[in-house]
């Protein structure tokens, strides 16, 4: 999606990435990742860095500071639209020029382009879960507390016995015998958890 020209310090949005409706949308992190790949593959190693990045530092176990990507306009870098007339570029993420007042995306002579940016003023990124279930920590805890089939069978196998030297009255024994069985209690527990 991006063409890197290190000698001229220009990143061009590839014209072949422009759909029929002429609306091109990209995330700043995707541009950043493509640049890193270009450098790692050896083609971009000899050129000055395209980005400075700040953020991403851990604030808590699940909250990181939000990321801001600064295009190194102080070193002459710029992003340009493709050579397609009437294209709309939508940039999703915090992309800013390193030089205050400069433009991160420079229009091409002879072509019209609309540039839209969707930035965030949030300063934190929250990671709710690292697994693949999509559950919140509270939901995971509830799920962990549901009895397993073995827990239920262990509970059902319990027996209640009375000693022959019991000091219970006949009425107390009758009340005791009228209590629900372990199986009934286990069933109620399962039904209340569902």
Q: pLDDT per residue over 15-56, tens digit each?
A: 888 889 999 999 999 999 999 999 999 889 999 999 999 887
Residue 173: what pLDDT? 57
Instruction: Return mean pLDDT, the chain.
Output: 78
Cβ atoms 4, 69 nearer than 8 A = no
Residue 137: what pLDDT? 73
Higher pLDDT, 28 or 140: 28
Chain centroid offset of residue 88 CA: 27
Residue 167: what pLDDT? 60
The mean pLDDT value for 72-96 works out to 92
Cα 162 to Cα 3: distance, rounded to the nearest angstrom: 84
Residue 162: what pLDDT? 46
Band (2; pLDDT cuts 50, 70, 90):
very high
Cβ atoms 18, 2 nearer than 8 A = no
Q: At what angle are helices 182-193 and 149-156 packed, to 10 degrees?
A: 150
Higher pLDDT, 7 or 146: 7
Cα distance from N-terminal residue to C-terminal residue, the chain: 48
| Main-chain phi, psi angles of 180, to 5 degrees | -65, 155
Residue 172: what pLDDT? 60
Q: Which of 40-44, 88-92, 158-162, 170-174 has the lowest mean pLDDT?
A: 158-162
Q: How far is the CA of 113 from the CAs of 38, 69, 83, 139, 159, in angstroms?
A: 26, 22, 10, 47, 80
The mean pLDDT value for 136-150 works out to 68
| pLDDT of 154 higher than 70 | no
Cβ atoms 103, 89 nearer than 8 A = no
Query: How many Cβ atoms sit within 10 Å of the Cβ of residue 47?
Result: 17
Return the structure tokens found at 65. 């500071």
Q: Which of 67, 65, 63, 68 is nearest to 127 (CA)?
A: 63
Higher pLDDT, 85 or 166: 85
Radius of gyration of the chain (CA): 32
């Amino acid at each position: 999606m991006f063409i890197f020209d290190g000698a001229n310090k220009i990143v061009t949005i590839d014209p072949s990435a422009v759909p029929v409706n002429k609306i091109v949308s990209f995330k700043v992190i995707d541009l950043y990742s493509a640049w890193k790949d270009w450098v790692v593959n050896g083609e971009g190693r000899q050129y000055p860095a395209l980005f400075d990045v700040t953020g991403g530092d851990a604030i808590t176990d699940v909250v990181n500071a939000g990321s801001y990507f600064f295009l190194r306009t102080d070193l002459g870098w710029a992003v340009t639209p493709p050579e397609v007339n009437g294209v709309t570029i939508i940039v999703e993420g915090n992309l800013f020029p390193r030089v205050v007042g400069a433009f991160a995306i420079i229009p091409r002579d002879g072509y019209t382009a609309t540039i839209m940016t969707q930035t965030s003023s949030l300063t934190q990124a929250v990671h709710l879960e690292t697994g693949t279930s999509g559950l919140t920590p509270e939901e995971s805890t509830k799920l962990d507390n549901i009895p397993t089939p073995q827990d239920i069978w262990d509970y059902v196998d319990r027996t209640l016995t009375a000693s022959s030297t019991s000091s219970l009255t006949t009425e107390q024994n009758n009340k005791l015998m009228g209590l629900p069985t372990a199986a009934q209690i286990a069933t109620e527990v399962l039904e209340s958890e569902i």
